[in-house]
């Protein structure tokens, strides 16, 4: 190898790796949030046949190792369906599905935390099921769910480090490259860990701030 010590270009490599990790985290979080929320709404509406199927799929995804899911998508799908799956596509599919499963569980718990008396009262006033979901259930459920969601997002950011094993050049992969080139693992992994910590801390702070605002907005103000 040409270099045996750190160079200024290593900072660019770390920034690029962090960018890939954050980008995949944001994309899979958005997809997972959308899918998980749709699953929870289907459960709220008690859609026949789909509800038990969704529940089974969510249980399967959240109770199996993410690394195994990643290998199944990256190595198993091409062998089974005779299709090409790139490392990034495999990462997006796996992380999105895993995130959706946990968001589904959190959303269902949040919806079920709303007192039945509120829903029945809304029905008495003539609100449709969609209006109840939008105006009564959703605001309170979101305030309840934001804490668990924040913890989930911090965990999912850390889970993105697994995608380096299938060749995605994320922050962990860059760290491994720098470690092999410099043979200074303590420095390399301290920096990589520090970058993950900063990103996770920003998520936690953002979630805490949003939770305070949502709880203040939904709090009873009195008559």
pLDDT of residue 4: 67
Of the two residues 43 and 144, the one the predictor is more confident about is 43
For 47-80, write each residue's pLDDT tens digit.
Answer: 788 888 999 999 999 999 999 999 999 999 999 9
Identify whether 35 is part of a domain: yes
User: Helix crossing, 185-218 with 138-159: angle to 10°?
Assistant: 180
Residue 132 DSSP symbol: I
The CATH number linked to 106 is 1.10.3720.10
Q: Give the structural domain span for 156.
A: 9-218
Identify whether 3 is part of a domain: no
Task: Note the helical H segments in the chain.
Answer: 9-44, 50-62, 66-71, 77-81, 87-112, 116-124, 129-131, 138-159, 171-182, 185-218
pLDDT band (50, 70, 90) for residue 2: low
Average pLDDT on 204-222 reads: 72
Res. 124: pLDDT tops 80: no
Q: What is the pTM of this model?
A: 0.85
Identify whether 137 is part of a domain: yes
Identify whether 210 is part of a domain: yes
Identify whether 187 is part of a domain: yes
Identify whether 65 is part of a domain: yes
Average pLDDT on 115-136 reads: 73
Number of domains in the chain: 1
Identify whether 1 is part of a domain: no
pLDDT band (50, 70, 90) for residue 219: low
Average pLDDT, the chain: 87
For 136-161, write each residue's pLDDT tens digit.
Answer: 777 777 777 888 899 999 999 999 99
pLDDT of residue 217: 59
Res. 17: pLDDT tops 90: yes
pLDDT of residue 157: 94
pLDDT of residue 156: 94
Identify whether 88 is part of a domain: yes
Contact 137, 44 (CB under 8 A): yes
């Amino acid at each position: 190898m040409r270099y045996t010590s750190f160079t200024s270009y290593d900072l660019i490599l770390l920034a690029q790796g962090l960018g890939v990790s954050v980008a995949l985290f944001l994309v899979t979080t958005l997809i997972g949030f959308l899918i998980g929320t749709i699953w929870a709404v289907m459960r709220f509406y008690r859609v026949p046949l789909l509800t038990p199927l969704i529940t089974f799929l969510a249980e399967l995804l959240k109770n199996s190792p993410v690394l195994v899911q990643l290998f199944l998508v990256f190595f198993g799908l091409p062998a089974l369906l005779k299709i090409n799956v790139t490392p990034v596509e495999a990462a997006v599919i796996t992380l999105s599905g895993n995130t959706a499963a946990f968001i589904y569980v959190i959303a269902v718990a949040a919806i079920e935390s709303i007192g039945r008396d509120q829903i029945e009262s809304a029905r008495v006033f003539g609100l449709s099921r969609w209006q109840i979901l939008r105006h009564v259930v959703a605001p309170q459920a979101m305030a309840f769910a934001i804490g668990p969601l924040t913890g989930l997002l911090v965990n999912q950011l850390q889970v993105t480090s697994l995608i380096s094993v299938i060749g995605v050049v994320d922050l962990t992969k860059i760290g491994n490259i720098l470690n092999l080139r410099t043979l200074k693992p303590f420095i390399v992994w301290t920096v990589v860990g520090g970058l993950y910590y900063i990103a996770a801390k920003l998520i936690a702070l953002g979630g805490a701030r949003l939770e305070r605002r949502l709880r203040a907005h939904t709090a009873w103000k009195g008559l």
